Amino acid sequence: MIPSFSRISRSNLLRDCFFFLVLLISVSVSSCNHSSSENKNEKPLARVGEMYLYPSDLKNVAHDKSDSVQIIHNYINNWVHETLLLQQAEKNLMDDQIKFDKMVEDYRKSLITYEYESHLVKQKLDTLVNEDEIQKYYEENKGNFELKDNIIKVIYVKVRKNAPKVEKINDWYKSNEVKDKDALAGYCHQYAENFYLDDNTWLLFDDVLKEIPMKLYDKEAFLQNNRTIETQDSAYYYFVNIKGFMIKNSTSPLSFEKDNIKKIILNKRKVEMIKKMREDIYNEGIKNKTFEVY
C-alpha cells in the first residue's frame, strides 16, 4: 500500500466570474422571453407581469410520475421568484441596458471563439513531448524552477508492533543490496500497514512527515543532519531512510519538474497554434477579399 504523497499543483484562474454571471443572466433573460410568447395556444401555469409560463416549458422538468407534482410545483415557484427578481433588476438597470447588452454580446463572441479554438486544439495539437524537449526547456529556464518546499527521496515502512520478524526491517530498510530490497518489498506487501519503496522519486518532505508521529521545528537542519528515522506510537513502528534531499529555495531538480514542464510546452504549442490559425484566417480574408477597411 502506497501513501497518498502528493505534490502541490500550480493552478491558474481559468474563468472570469463576472462574465460568467453575465452569461447566466443572459440565459435567464432568454428563457423568460421564450415564456412570454403570444403564439402559444396553451393555458398558462403562471404569470409575472407580461411574462407567462406554459406547460410546454416544463416538458423536460419531471420524468418520474411519483414525484412530478412536487417537482412541477417547485419549478413554478422558482420561476415566479426568479422572474420577479429579473423584472425588478431590469427596471433598475434600464440606464445601463446598452452597456449591459454590449457586455453580453462581447461575452457571447468570446465564448464562440473560445469553443472553436478549443475544438481546433483538441483535434490538431501534438501532445507528444519528448525527453530532449523537456531537458532543453529546463536548462534554458533553470532560474524559474525554485523549490517552494523541502523534497526528499525516501524508503518508508509502517508496520504493526505485533508483526512477525519486525527486527529484520532494521537491516533491510537501510541496505542498498538488491536482495535486501527484494526482501523488504516482499515483507511490506505481506505485513506492512503502509510503505513507500521508490527511492528514485522526489516527494514533499511535509507529506512524508504527515505519515510519522513526530514534529520537527527546524526541518532544514534535520535533513542536513539525519538520514534515518525510527520511531513508534502505541500501535506501530515507523522506519524512514532518507536517500536524498533538497532544501527549499534551491533549484528544483528536473525529475520533480517534468510534468510541469510538459504542461508549459504544450501550452506554448497551443498559443502558437491559435496565433497561426488567426493569421491564416486573416490572410485568407485578404486573398478572397472577404473584408475591406475604409
* pLDDT tens sequence across 123-165: 999 999 999 999 999 999 999 999 999 999 999 999 999 999 9
Please indicate, yes or no, whether residues 207 and 282 belong to a single structural domain of this protein.
no
The amino acid at 262: K
Tell me the mean pLDDT in the region 182-205: 95
Q: Give yes or no: residues 275 and 233 share one domain.
A: no
- The helix (H) or strand (E) run that includes residue 226 is none
CATH number of the domain residue 223 falls in: 3.10.50
Q: Are residues 136 and 281 in the same domain?
A: yes
CA distance 231 to 248: 25
- The total of structural domains in the chain comes to 3
The confidence score (pLDDT) of residue 40 equals 57
Please determine, for residue 19, whether its predicted confidence score (pLDDT) is greater than 70. Answer: no
Same domain, 108 and 192: no
The pLDDT of residue 64: 57
Does residue 39 carry a pLDDT above 70?
no
2: pLDDT confidence band, cut at 50, 70 and 90? very low
Total-model pTM: 0.63
Distance CA 259, CA 127 (A): 13
Contact 153, 245 (CB under 8 A): yes
The answer to whether position 11 is within a domain reads no
Q: What is the structure's pLDDT at 5?
A: 42
Kindly state the average pLDDT of the residues 271-294. 90
Summarize the confidence of residues 31-51 as an average pLDDT. 68
Residue 188 lies in a domain: yes
Give the 3-state secondary structure percentages of the chain, helix then strand then coil, rounded to 5: 55, 15, 30
Asked whether residue 92 falls in the same domain as residue 217, the answer is no
Instruction: Tell me the residue range of the domain where 116 lies.
Output: 17-124
User: What is the reported pLDDT for 10?
Assistant: 36
Give 11 or 121, the one with higher predicted confidence. 121
pLDDT above 90: residue 248: yes
Based on the domain organization, do 72 and 98 belong to the same domain? Answer: yes
Give domain status of residue 294, yes or no.
no
Q: What is the pLDDT of residue 59?
A: 77
Q: CA torsion angle for 231, 233, 236, 240 (degrees, to 10)?
A: -20
Residue 57 pLDDT greater than 50, yes or no: yes
Helices of type H across 173-294: 178-191, 205-209, 219-225, 254-288
SS3 (DSSP) at 48: strand
Measured in whole angstroms, the distance separating CA 214 from the mean position of its chain's CA atoms is 31
Beta bridge partners of 203: 152
User: 6 in a domain, yes or no?
Assistant: no
pLDDT at 65: 56
Which residue type is seen at 159? V
- Top pLDDT among 57 and 39 is at 57
| Distance separating alpha carbons of residues 236 and 211, to the nearest angstrom | 11
Q: What is the pLDDT of residue 62?
A: 61
The C-alpha cell 425588478 sits at: 88
| pLDDT given at position 117 | 92
The amino acid sitting at 193 is E
Q: Is residue 11's pLDDT more than 60? A: no
pLDDT above 90: percentage of residues in the chain: 58
Mean pLDDT for the chain overall:
84
What is the C-alpha to C-alpha distance for residues 134 and 124, in angstroms, rounded to an integer?
21
The reply to whether 242 and 282 lie within a common domain is: no
Q: pLDDT tens digit string along 114-124?
A: 999 999 999 99
Same domain, 115 and 33: yes
- State residue 67's pLDDT score: 61
In a domain, 165, yes or no: yes
In a domain, 4, yes or no: no
Structural domain contains residue 7:
no
Task: Please say whether the beta carbons of 168 and 183 come within 8 A.
Answer: yes
Are 110 and 152 found together in one domain? no
Burial 208-237 (b: 16+ CB within 10 A, else e): bbebbeeeeeebeebbeeeeebeeeeeebb
Q: pLDDT tier at 274 (50, 70, 90 boundaries)?
A: very high
Q: Are residues 189 and 215 in the same domain?
A: yes
Answer yes or no: are the C-beta atoms of 34 and 57 closer than 8 Å: yes
* Alpha-carbon span 29 to 27, nearest angstrom: 5
pLDDT digits (tens, 9 = 90+) for 219-245: 999 999 999 999 999 999 999 999 999
User: Does residue 156 sit in the same domain as residue 104?
Assistant: no
Nearest to 33 by CA among 25, 41, 23: 25
Model pLDDT, residue 280:
92
Q: Are residues 236 and 162 in the same domain?
A: yes
What is the rounded distance in angstroms from the CA atom of residue 249 to the CA atom of residue 231? 29
Residue 166 lies in a domain: yes
Choose among 4, 6, 1, 294: nearest CA to 149: 6
Mean pLDDT of the 71-83 span: 89
